[in-house]
């Protein structure tokens, strides 16, 4: 019997194949994870209710009080930014109602000290993206389309992915996302009848040209 000279035992075959497969799979999984991460709601920061310095509840204000979005976000149809209400705006009501509530203490403090309330930004596009609320609102894009059912959020969270491909999808085919002007701030509006036909009609009415040229958003 020849001396046992073999370097590798039979399990080495399995091990070597498994190792190679593991390396290949590892590389693929790593790439795939990085790739996939940005597609998860977590990667895009969707569905993450953001706590604010004041326990402001949109559900209460939108549903119970039926305050229109534009009461507080007053510049949404005129300016690039929708506008975060000034402390003064809060106190328009809250000097009368809940004016002793400890929950509103930060608001009163802001008003009396003159220091703004440090709200936390929920919807953020990069600095090189020039998003303008006014043109979208005036061309029939409703609040709910991008911001979701704010009327059901205790703390506002990001609903839309806010990725470039998401923007592009609508810019390429805006029709299905258009609504009549009187329904812009409605959280519950649903079209009756043919959505596609309505979209076409609204495209014409608003004179909508979804543009996908780069400088539409990047300048």
Applying the rule CB under 8 A, the residues between 155 and 214 that interact with other proteins are 161, 163-166, 168-169, 207, 211-214
Q: Does 29 bind other proteins (CB under 8 A)?
A: no
State in angstroms the smallest separation of the CB of 41 from other proteins: 12
What is the chain's length? Answer: 219
Q: Which is nearer to other proteins, 9 or 100 (CB)?
A: 9
SS3 139: coil
State in angstroms the smallest separation of the CB of 207 from other proteins: 7
Residue 49: CB atoms within 10 Å: 12
User: How many Å apart are CA 55 and CA 75, to the nearest integer?
Assistant: 23
Site pattern 40..79 for other proteins (x: CB under 8 A): ----xx----x-----------------------xx-xxx
Residues 6+ away with beta carbon under 8 Å from 91: 107, 108, 111
State in angstroms the smallest separation of the CB of 161 from other proteins: 8
Q: Which is nearer to other proteins, 15 or 64 (CB)?
A: 15
User: How many Å apart are CA 179 and CA 142, to the nearest integer?
Assistant: 7
Q: Which is nearer to other proteins, 75 or 145 (CB)?
A: 75
Site pattern 103..132 for other proteins (x: CB under 8 A): -------xx--xxxxxxxxx-x-xxx-x-x
User: How many Å apart are CA 165 and CA 35, to the nearest integer?
Assistant: 14
Please, are residues 107 and 44 in contact by the beta-carbon 8 Å criterion? no
What is the token pair recorded at 18?
A: 């498994």
State in angstroms the smallest separation of the CB of 181 from other proteins: 10
Q: From 102, 71, 77, select the one nearest 89 (Cα to Cα).
A: 71
What angle is formed at CA 112 by the lines to CA 60 and CA 107, rounded to 5 degrees? 20
Q: Which is nearer to other proteins, 95 or 195 (CB)?
A: 95
Q: Which of 26, 39, 47, 152 binds other proteins (CB under 8 A)?
A: 39
Q: How many residues bind other proteins (CB under 8 A)?
A: 76
């Amino acid at each position: 019997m020849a001396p046992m000279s073999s370097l590798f035992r039979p399990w080495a075959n399995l091990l070597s194949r498994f190792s190679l497969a593991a390396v290949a799979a590892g590389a693929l999984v790593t790439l795939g994870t990085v790739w996939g991460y940005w597609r998860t709601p977590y990667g895009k920061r969707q569905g993450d209710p953001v706590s604010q310095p004041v326990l402001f509840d949109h559900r209460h204000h939108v549903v119970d009080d039926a305050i229109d979005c534009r009461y507080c976000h007053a510049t949404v149809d005129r300016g690039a930014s929708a506008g975060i209400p000034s402390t003064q705006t809060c106190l328009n009501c809250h000097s009368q109602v809940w004016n002793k509530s400890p929950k509103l203490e930060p608001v009163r403090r802001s008003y009396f000290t003159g220091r703004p309330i440090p709200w936390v930004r929920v919807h953020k596009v990069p600095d090189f993206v020039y998003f303008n609320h006014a043109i979208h609102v005036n061309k029939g894009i409703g609040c709910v389309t991008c911001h979701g059912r704010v009327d059901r959020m205790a703390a506002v969270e990001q609903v839309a992915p806010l990725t470039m491909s998401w923007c592009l999808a609508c810019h390429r085919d805006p029709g299905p996302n258009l609504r009549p002007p009187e329904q812009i701030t409605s959280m519950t509006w649903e079209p009756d009848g043919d959505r596609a036909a309505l979209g076409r009609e609204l495209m014409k009415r608003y004179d909508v040209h979804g543009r996908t040229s780069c400088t539409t958003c990047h300048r």
